[in-house]
Amino acid sequence: MIEDKNPSRTPISELGEFGLIDHLTKNFKATQKSTIKSIGDDAAVLDFKSKQVVISTDILVEHVHFDLSYMPLKHLGYKAMIANLSDVYAMNASATQVTIAIAISNRFPLEALEELYAGIETASKIYGVDVVGGDTTSSTTGLIISITAVGEVNKNDVVYRSGAKPNDLLVVTGDLGAAYMGLQILEREKEVFKVNPNNQPDLEPYTYIVERQLKPEARKDIIKLLRDLKVKPTSMIDISDGLSSEIIHLCKQSNVGAVLYENKIPLDPQVISTCEEFNIDSTTIALNGGEDYELLMTIAQEDFPKIKGNPNLTVIGYMTEKEQGMHLITRGDALIPLIAKGWNALKDQ
Ligand code: ADP
Ligand code: MG
């Protein structure tokens, strides 16, 4: 539905591997002080002085994690960056560098890779991270993209999943479920398009949720906000697989339980209306839909005055002793055990 009708197609073979890498990375300029040597040698060289270094890798596989029939390559490049940067921010660290590994089949012309790298470049500029290396190889099936993100953090500032204590407040940023509902809209429009290619989708009523699916953001702003508010979360995780499974991760690693209030879960009105249209429960979507890239954290009770009323941070529950388990308190005051149904890349394989 978003296919370019008259694209120019330059075969990758015209450039060769080294020509391709040069071409794709020629605009990248290192801006981080810690980048000593970027693309061009056998390895990048970084210098973090007295900081601790965090590293995180993700891999995205065509047909498993993304569908190019509605995911423009530019957005894919951007989103792949976001997914990785989000993991760095979830450690309360600043993201500084990435490396990018791609495997491509010959069905991708140079122009397609230019699009992918345009998205990568945009994200690198917006988030201020240097692209310092990568690897390029061929694939016989689809596109594979793997990004490794590097970040830095003062030793005393790093936040793990394991620090939550009973009575800590459970706090989430932004709103939940939008990326999943955006995906439902795109999947639906893809089916409509298959039946009638002349039928142009009207995505207007779904702008927010479709954007949350195609062009998500990572919460770099929250790391700064927490610093400004002088709040160090006791534990933190990014929400890539759904609220429920992330709460369970925090509880298991911190050896605590949790209570989550259904009526506190932040939902955008477009998520609520689209859930009504699809006849699905919005709480289920917030609990189990993935790819929101918000941050879930626990905060000591004494820090509550510092975050109170902040529109970016919503208190959705609190941590308990482990023995009390992990529960959702519904709008009707029923106590329901939390289970991880979260989005799982391996579930249908
Ligand atoms: P090597 O043979 O040592 O693996 P390459 O020829 O693969 O080296 O890479 C040359 C340089 O280009 C290295 O600095 C590498 O990190 C970088 N590079 C390779 N592929 C990519 C890519 N897809 N994106 C960004 N940098 C890349
Ligand atoms: Mg290589």
What is the per-residue DSSP string for 273-311? HHHHHHT--HHHHHHH-----EEEEEE-GGGHHHHTT-T
Provide the token pair at 170.
Answer: 């459970």
Q: What is the Å distance from ligand 2's center to 171 Cα?
A: 42
Annotate 289-305 with b (16+ C-beta within 10 A) or e (fewer): bbbbbbbbbbbbeebee
From 39, 104, 121, 150, the mutation candidate for ligand 1 (largest count of ligand atoms within 8 A of CB) is 39
Question: Residue 235's closest CA among 186, 297, 308, 158?
Answer: 297
Provide the token pair at 314.
Answer: 């919503």
Q: What is the Å distance from ligand 2's center to 42 Cα?
A: 8
- Going by pLDDT thresholds of 50, 70 and 90, the confidence category of residue 8 is confident
| β-bridge partners, 146 | 59, 101
Looking at the CA of residue 25, tell me the nearest atom of ligand 1.
25
For the residues 14-22, what does the mean pLDDT come to? 89
Average pLDDT value over all residues in the chain: 93
Closest residue to atom 8 of ligand 1, CA basis: 42
Q: What is the Å distance from ligand 2's center to 116 Cα?
A: 19
Percentage of residues in the chain having pLDDT higher than 90: 85
Q: Assess whether pLDDT exceeds 50 at residue 218.
A: yes
Percentage of residues in the chain having pLDDT higher than 70: 96
Helix (H, G, I), strand (E, B) or coil at 145: strand
Q: What is the DSSP string of 221-265?
A: HHHHHHHHHT---SEEEEESS-HHHHHHHHHHHHTEEEEEEGGGS
Span of 67-71, 112-116, 249-253, 297-301 with lowest mean pLDDT: 67-71
The pLDDT value given to residue 1: 46
From 12, 17, 21, the mutation candidate for ligand 1 (largest count of ligand atoms within 8 A of CB) is 21
The pLDDT value given to residue 5: 53
* Phi/psi of residue 96, nearest 5 degrees: -125, -40
The pLDDT value given to residue 251: 98
CA 19, 22, 28: angle at the middle one, nearest 5? 165
Ligand 1-lining residues (CB < 6 angstroms)? 21, 25, 39-42, 100, 102, 131, 133-136
Looking at the CA of residue 39, tell me the nearest atom of ligand 1.
14
Q: pTM for this one? A: 0.94
The pLDDT value given to residue 6: 55
Look-up: residue for tokens 């799982």?
A: 344
Q: Assess whether pLDDT exceeds 50 at residue 347.
A: no
